[in-house]
């Protein structure tokens, strides 16, 4: 059974513009319109980069609903609906399906973690509650649990389990996963420094932090690869590496919020426990953004 990709190319893991008084919807709308105009292929709303973990339940739902309405079908909208409480993830997934999100990004449970058996049971429960495709999100550096290739294989072909956002950083494990799941699960890079390596293993794109500040650059890396210009894609990947590293020199989304604020898209405001970027790191980030012609 083959699987239709949710998107092909770049999905921006979008920031959520915040102020001391709440979500800045006017700024969010402007950022959405700009991202689409710059050529990104999908938008991820209220994920890690969108500070979904510190949005209230009401804000989380409202941000997804607003974004679906603002996008108005121009690109797929992928809603972050993962939780370490499966019942909450089911509830949020149902809501996001109802308001028109095109797919769900579902992270592994954090803190309480899970066995591989528990991951399979959790993802099946959320998939059963969903009317839209799920993208399984593996980021063990944040959650403390890794989805093993055999677990992907056990979920491949299950209704509504469509794709993987793979951010474990382990290319060998990603190759093993690709060998096991074939075309039953679409693989997306969850790391901006591994776009080309994962595309070379049959991946269909990236869920990107880089594309917040440099959407055209991220899109061009993918488009060069898809055109068959693998060397050109690899060259751009390497040229982008210092900027990517600067965007992750402090925990995401601290640096990208600073970068987007410098571009005038939002306030440099984050919710605790996140705090604004250290001045010396911010100066280096902005220097690299200038070098790429972004500022």
List, by residue number, the catalytic residues: 137, 165
Q: 94 is written with which tokens?
A: 């149902």
Q: Kindly report the three-state secondary structure assignment for every residue of 31-69.
A: HHHHHHHCCCCEEEECCCCCCHHHCCHHHHHHHHHHHHH
Distance of alpha carbon 122 from alpha carbon 20, whole angstroms: 35
For 219, residues 6+ apart whose C-beta sits below 8 A from its C-beta are: 9, 10, 38, 39, 40, 41, 211
Q: 18 is written with which tokens?
A: 């915040």
Q: Does residue 9 sit in helix, strand or coil?
A: strand
> Which of 9, 8, 5, 6 lies closest to 219, judged by CA?
9
> Residue 170 CB: number of other CB atoms within 10 A?
15
Distance of alpha carbon 38 from alpha carbon 29, whole angstroms: 14
Distance of alpha carbon 12 from alpha carbon 32, whole angstroms: 10
Q: Quick one: DSSP state of residue 201?
A: T
Burial (CB count <10 Å: 0-12, 13-18, 19+), residue 181:
buried
Distance of alpha carbon 243 from alpha carbon 31, whole angstroms: 20
> Which of 191, 112, 181 lies closest to 151, judged by CA?
181
Distance of alpha carbon 277 from alpha carbon 138, whole angstroms: 26
């Amino acid at each position: 059974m083959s699987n239709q990709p949710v998107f092909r190319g770049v999905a921006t893991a979008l920031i959520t513009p915040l102020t001391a008084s709440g979500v800045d919807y006017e700024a969010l709308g402007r950022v959405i319109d700009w991202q689409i105009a710059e050529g990104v292929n999908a938008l991820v709303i209220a994920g890690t980069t969108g500070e979904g973990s510190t949005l209230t339940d009401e804000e989380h739902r409202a941000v997804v609903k607003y974004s679906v309405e603002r996008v108005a079908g121009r690109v797929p909208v992928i809603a972050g609906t993962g939780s370490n409480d499966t019942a909450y993830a089911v509830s949020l997934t149902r809501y996001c399906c109802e308001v028109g999100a095109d797919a769900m990004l579902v992270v592994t449970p954090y803190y309480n973690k899970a066995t591989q058996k528990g991951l399979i049971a959790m993802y099946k429960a959320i998939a059963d509650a969903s009317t839209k495709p799920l993208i399984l999100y593996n980021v063990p550096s944040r959650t403390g649990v890794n989805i093993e290739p055999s677990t992907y294989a056990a979920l491949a072909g299950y209704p509504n389990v469509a794709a993987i956002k793979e951010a474990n950083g382990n290319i060998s494990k990603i190759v093993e996963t690709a060998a096991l799941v074939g075309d039953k699960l679409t693989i997306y890079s969850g790391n901006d420094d591994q776009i080309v390596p994962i595309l070379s293993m049959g991946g269909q794109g990236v869920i990107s932090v880089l594309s917040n500040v440099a959407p055209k650059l991220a899109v061009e890396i993918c488009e060069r690869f898809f055109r068959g210009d693998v060397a050109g894609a690899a060259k751009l990947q390497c040229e982008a590496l210092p900027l990517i590293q600067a965007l992750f020199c402090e925990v995401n989304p601290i640096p990208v919020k600073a970068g987007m604020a410098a571009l005038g898209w939002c306030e440099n405001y984050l919710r605790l426990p996140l705090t604004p970027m250290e001045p010396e790191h911010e100066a280096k980030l902005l220097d690299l953004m200038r070098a790429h012609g972004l500022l």
